[in-house]
Amino acid sequence: MDTSLIGLEVVELLSRISGQRLRPQDVTPLVVFLTALISILRGVIIIDKTVAVEEEERLQKTLKAFVNAERDHLQLIQRILKGVAKQQVYFNPSELVTLTALFSDSEKLLLIAFGYEMSAADGDFDLREQMYLQSIGHRLGIDYRHTTVLDTVFAKEGTIDPDALAEVQSLLDPAEFEAHNPVFAKAAKHLASLLQSKGNS
């Protein structure tokens, strides 16, 4: 995602979510990604009406990995975290579509894969969480076969299509993210290894 391509619509949306008037130069690709990530992870936590301790811990752990690379924007990210919850961005797919409009297929898959990891964090892959993630994946234009792979891997049920799994692993190849902030490549490596271990179990 190229910073120069971040449009005014995204800047205005982030301004509204954060409650702070932002300029284009205030918004980095990682801030945009984090806003979408916070929205989806918070949606997974809320959708089953049960906030598990494990899910909150997973949220904090996931965000910490990214925020460490964006310390200059820590205050903004904290405002976004509060704003997402207050405005329930996770229930507004059109806003998620706006946030992810410039994301590559790999970035979108990385985003939704974190949602699946969150869903499995409490050991219970809830049907409502599954449907929420499938719906978001569809709205973001993620190949249904790819979300099905994530479904199967994290729910530990069903048969994995080896071709689709290979595509998912290719999209989450850390090399796909090396041009970005290194934190993306690290996150992709984490999820790719998770997929491999779960896929083989």
Predicted confidence (pLDDT) per residue in 143-155, tens digit: 999 999 999 888 8
Q: Is the pLDDT of residue 186 over 60?
A: yes
Nearest to 77 by CA among 58, 62, 94, 92: 62
Instruction: Give the pLDDT confidence score for residue 199 in this predicted structure.
Output: 58
CA distance 199 to 108: 20
Residue 201 pLDDT greater than 60, yes or no: no
Round to whole Å and give the CA distance between 5 and 22.
16
Residue 1 has pLDDT above 60, yes or no: no
pLDDT tops 80 at residue 55: no
Please state, in angstroms and as integers, the Cα–Cα distance from residue 152 to each residue in 88, 174, 199, following that order: 28, 22, 9
Task: Tell me the pLDDT of the chain averaged across its residues.
Answer: 86
Question: Is the CB of residue 25 less than 8 Å from the CB of residue 3?
Answer: no
